[in-house]
Amino acid sequence: CLMESSVPLQSYKEAAEWILAHTDQRPRIAVICGSGLGTLAETLENKTVIPYEDIPHFPSSTVPGHAGRLVFGLLNGKQCVCMQGRFHIYEGYSMSTVAFPVRVFSLLGVDTLIVTNAAGGINSNYSVGDIMFIKDHINMPGFCGQNPLRGPNEDGFGVRFPCMSDAYDQHLRHLAMDCTQELGLQDIVQEGIYCMLGGPSYETIAECNMLKLLGVDAVGMSTVPEVITGRHCRMHILGISLITNMAILSYNSTAHANHQEVLQTSQLRAAALIALLTNLVGKM
Ligand code: HPA
């Protein structure tokens, strides 16, 4: 066969069946926790914790700041499953492997996906610590063929050519906006365009300026594979970027992008993000 291999349908089914046999919980909401935001999962009640390595066919996470387990439990009274630790293409995984858990969630009955990430601020009106609701994305790796849906279409999940113009659910975004008002977070909230790059190197100054010209508000190395895969199987999606650092746009700058700053800002805003998601899930 001359075709690159994608993930076999049987792998998703076996993973889902294994999970269904190991917890009685049947969440409709899944949360993917980005860099340093995994503490959300700790706040769930009646937890069932499943390490990724126990689940057949599940990939494993290799990044500091990302644990590797599914946490099922109640968030504000609602059943949820949290991914504590996600996968990235820079770890060497294909886009379809990165998005593997999303299809497994779909088989578990999940219909709403909340995706969080750490991102670099490109928009000069943004500040470190801002919370950006994702209005739309640019799949930069997609411009050269990287898409989680590449390969034979799995008709059981969705159509061959799925629409992406409504990828981020407007209703969920407005609900999340309401929550930020209630919590007094409105001064640190933004709404914008997220661009995914492959990483793991951070962007050059020229690349940051290019992204700015393209209308990008925040840049990161994740989220897009999961969102495309989730939309393919008609999940409702809310995307949240935490602006952990500002992209460097000037040759006069002495700043340097680094993972420590990303983790520090995540810790600074962890409580606010947990409050936001807790409040939001209660309204869903
Ligand atoms: N660039 C890419 N990915 C990121 C950044 C960044 O500046 N910050 C957090 N993730």
Give catalytic residues, as residue numbers: 35, 66, 88, 90-91, 118, 221-222, 245, 259
Asked if 135 contacts 237 with a C-beta cutoff of 8 angstroms, the reply is no
For residue 66, the model assigns a pLDDT of 66
What does the block give as tokens for 79?
Answer: 């059943």
Q: Is the pTM of this model over 0.90?
A: yes
Looking at ligand 1, which residue's alpha carbon is closest to its atom 2? 220
Judged on CB neighbours under 10 Å (0-12, 13-18, 19+), 147 is: middle
Asked if 7 contacts 156 with a C-beta cutoff of 8 angstroms, the reply is no
257 CB within 6 A, ligand 1: yes
> Which atom of ligand 1 is nearest the CA belonging to 203?
1
> Which atom of ligand 1 is nearest the CA belonging to 120?
7
Ligand 1 centroid distance, CA of 258 (Å): 8
Q: How far is CA 123 from CA 238, 241, 248, in A?
A: 20, 13, 11
Q: Which of 238, 222, 265, 218 is nearest to 34 (CA)?
A: 222
Q: Establish how many alpha carbons lie within 13 A of residue 197's alpha carbon, considering only the half-sphere containing its beta carbon.
A: 17
Q: How far apart are CA 176 and CA 170, in angstroms?
A: 10
Ligand 1 centroid distance, CA of 108 (Å): 31
Ligand 1 centroid distance, CA of 261 (Å): 10
Low-confidence ranges of the chain (pLDDT < 50): none
122 CB within 6 A, ligand 1: no
Looking at ligand 1, which residue's alpha carbon is closest to its atom 10? 119
Q: Which of 20, 127, 114 is nearest to 75 (CA)?
A: 114
Looking at ligand 1, which residue's alpha carbon is closest to its atom 6? 120
For residue 282, the model assigns a pLDDT of 95
Ligand 1 centroid distance, CA of 76 (Å): 30
Q: How far apart are CA 76 and CA 279, in angstroms?
A: 7
Looking at ligand 1, which residue's alpha carbon is closest to its atom 7? 120
